[in-house]
């Protein structure tokens, strides 16, 4: 099954192509059609690159990827390395790996020579359904996640779901969390579809996985084309995609981006907190709250964390870039499939609400 989604954002038009077993063919084509390509490759997926003819003749850099590469140090090290290899405005950077590499590569591509083309070849479920789409990139600081970065759309996104065959189960689940997020914020039918089809997704049925990726990308597209820079405050706001991320990011920052929680695990806990708040504030029915919670439990997505009420978490949230004038903006739910932006919530009130 081949699928293509076109994104038209800020004078850039690019395609997201989903095709099983396509990675080698797509890399070959990129090499043939561009004069100077530089590959940034997650070490764990180097085997896909090795299949390319004469791969040793290509300019490439391998990187051990995890959340810690989204740092000033790695940004500087990699940028210098790329410069030392020879790069001009017509060069193309190609990132093959998960969301951490994509986020770092995006920031490098947008700043190197004031912008060189970037092709993303995402190889984790999370990066295929979420992070490779929409042009947000960035690195972390001790003050919070993704606090330094740009909006920079890629030239192309090439998704081969068969690359997921080597992905550890925990990382797979992390990506599934973003799929469920897309369903919960935007599409009740998709949520019901996931209830029926999730087993096939976890059993690596590539036809069903491709459908889930296609649906996720399509939902994300709706928000990013209408609100690339996250300026809107209505139901089209790109901020809606941050459902579960206020608490999720705070947990990740609290743990110093170590391996305690994957991104998907952190935002799962965040989504449950946001759902609970939605219910306590009488926006979301108990029935829908329970539906969400049961889906998470059934799939092994975490719903609690021992530090989630730690006062440091709330301090981190106050500093979060999405909160203007020290007031907290949260994404809440009216139903499964219907999220909205609730600005200026009092965090002390929230603290009391969720502790009960």
Ligand X SMILES: NC(=O)c1ccc[n+]([C@@H]2O[C@H](COP(=O)([O-])OP(=O)(O)OC[C@H]3O[C@@H](n4cnc5c(N)ncnc54)[C@H](O)[C@@H]3O)[C@@H](O)[C@H]2O)c1
Q: Which is nearer to ligand X, 29 or 259 (CB)?
A: 259
Q: Which is nearer to ligand X, 250 or 284 (CB)?
A: 250
> Strand 2-9 relative to strand 12-19: parallel, antiparallel, unpaired?
antiparallel
Residues 6+ apart with CB under 8 A from 282: none
State yes or no: residue 174 binds ligand X (CB under 6 A).
Answer: yes
- Across-strand partners of 92? 37, 117
State yes or no: residue 136 binds ligand X (CB under 6 A).
Answer: yes
- Binders in 83-102 for ligand X, by CB under 6 A: 97-101
Q: Which is nearer to ligand X, 37 or 102 (CB)?
A: 102
Residue 66 in 3-state DSSP? coil
Of 27, 30, 65, 212, the one binding ligand X by CB under 6 A: 65
Binding-residue total with ligand X (CB under 6 A) = 29
Residues 6+ apart with CB under 8 A from 330: 246, 274, 277, 341, 342, 345, 350
Segment near ligand X (CB under 6 A), from 72-80, 166-174, 291-299, 332-340?
Answer: 166-174
Q: Output the smallest distance, CB 305 to ligand X, in A.
A: 17
State yes or no: residue 265 binds ligand X (CB under 6 A).
Answer: no
313, 328 contact by CB (below 8 A): no
State yes or no: residue 22 binds ligand X (CB under 6 A).
Answer: no
**For residue 243, what are its two tokens?**
């459902």
- Binders in 115-134 for ligand X, by CB under 6 A: 123-124, 126-127, 130-131, 134
Q: Where are the alpha helices (DSSP H) in the chain?
A: 23-33, 46-50, 72-85, 99-111, 125-126, 169-186, 188-202, 206-226, 245-254, 263-280, 286-299, 311-319, 347-355
Sign of the CA dihedral with 69 first, then 76, 147, and 331 last:
negative
Of 19, 74, 103, 160, the one binding ligand X by CB under 6 A: 103
Q: Which residues bind ligand X (CB under 6 A)?
A: 42, 44-45, 65-67, 70, 97-101, 103, 123-124, 126-127, 130-131, 134, 136-137, 163-164, 166-167, 171, 174, 263
């Amino acid at each position: 099954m081949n699928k293509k989604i076109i994104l038209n954002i800020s004078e850039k038009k690019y395609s997201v192509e989903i095709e099983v077993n396509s990675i080698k063919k797509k890399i070959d084509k990129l090499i043939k059609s561009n004069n100077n390509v530089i590959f940034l490759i997650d070490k764990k997926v180097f085997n896909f690159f090795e299949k390319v003819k004469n791969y040793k003749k290509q300019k490439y850099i391998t990187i051990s990827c995890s959340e810690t590469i989204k740092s000033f140090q790695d940004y500087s090290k990699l940028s210098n390395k790329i410069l030392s290899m020879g790069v001009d405005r017509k060069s193309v950077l190609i990132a093959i790996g998960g969301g951490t590499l994509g986020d770092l590569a995006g920031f490098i591509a947008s700043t190197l020579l004031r912008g060189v083309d970037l092709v993303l070849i995402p190889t984790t479920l999370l990066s295929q359904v979420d992070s490779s789409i929409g042009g947000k990139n960035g690195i972390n600081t001790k003050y919070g996640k993704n606090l330094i970065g740009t909006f920079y759309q890629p030239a192309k996104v090439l998704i081969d779901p068969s690359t997921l065959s080597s992905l550890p189960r925990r990382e797979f689940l992390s990506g599934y969390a973003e799929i469920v997020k897309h369903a919960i914020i935007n599409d009740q039918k998709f949520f019901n579809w996931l209830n029926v089809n999730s087993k096939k997704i976890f059993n690596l049925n590539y036809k069903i996985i491709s459908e889930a990726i296609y649906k996720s990308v399509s939902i994300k597209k709706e928000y990013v084309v209408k609100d690339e820079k996250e300026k809107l405050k209505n139901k089209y706001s790109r901020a809606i995609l941050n459902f579960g991320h206020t608490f999720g990011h705070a947990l990740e920052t609290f743990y110093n981006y170590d391996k305690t929680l994957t991104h998907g695990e952190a935002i799962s806990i965040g989504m449950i907190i946001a759902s609970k708040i939605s219910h306590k504030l009488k926006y979301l029915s108990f029935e829908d709250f329970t539906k969400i919670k049961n889906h998470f439990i059934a799939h092994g997505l975490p719903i609690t964390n021992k530090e989630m009420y730690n006062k440091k978490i709330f301090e981190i949230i106050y500093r979060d870039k999405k909160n203007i004038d020290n007031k907290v903006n949260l994404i809440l739910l009216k139903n499964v499939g219907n999220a909205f932006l609730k600005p200026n919530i009092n965090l002390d009130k929230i603290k009391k609400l969720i502790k009960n």
